[in-house]
Amino acid sequence: MGLTKVKVKLVNPEEGLEGDVELLIDTGSVLTWIKRSRLEELKVKPRRVRRIKTITGQVVERQTGLVTLVLGEEEADVEVVFAEEEDGEVLGVVALESLGYAVNTVTGRLERVGYIAYSSFNSRRT
């Protein structure tokens, strides 16, 4: 399986500014990483600082903010990392699932799966 990339629209929900970006899908990353310069162009404001463990085991501190991601007909409000120049831009698993998509591990293609309710939901009586 190769790398899977996707083009999404970024929207600043407070300012209404938007822009397109192509992101590598990284199902090993919880959060979505977008270059700081791109987020600043959209006037996205940092809300907090998170300590994040990288794939190499290094712990880095990065600011995060909120954006609306649009993929096809779906949109989701997600927390994104203000990536520094040396950081990659990736679509993380929380955003991917919030948009109702998954990567097919056999084909490497992005597939619409909708929103999945866990089995505990089915055990409740209505």
Beta carbons of 12 and 75 less than 8 angstroms apart: no
Count of domains for the chain? 1
Residues 6+ apart with CB under 8 A from 100: 74, 112, 113, 114, 115
Count CA within 13 A, CB hemisphere, residue 43: 7
Rounded to the nearest integer, the mean pLDDT of the chain is 92
Low-confidence ranges of the chain (pLDDT < 50): 1
- Report pLDDT for 3: 85
| Of 124, 87, 75, residue with least CA distance to 64 | 87
Domain containing residue 36: CATH number: 2.40.70.10
Q: What is the pLDDT of residues 39-62, one digit of tens each?
A: 999 999 999 999 999 889 999 999
Which residue segment(s) compose the domain that 96 sits in?
A: 5-122
In contact, 99 and 75? CB cutoff 8 Å: yes
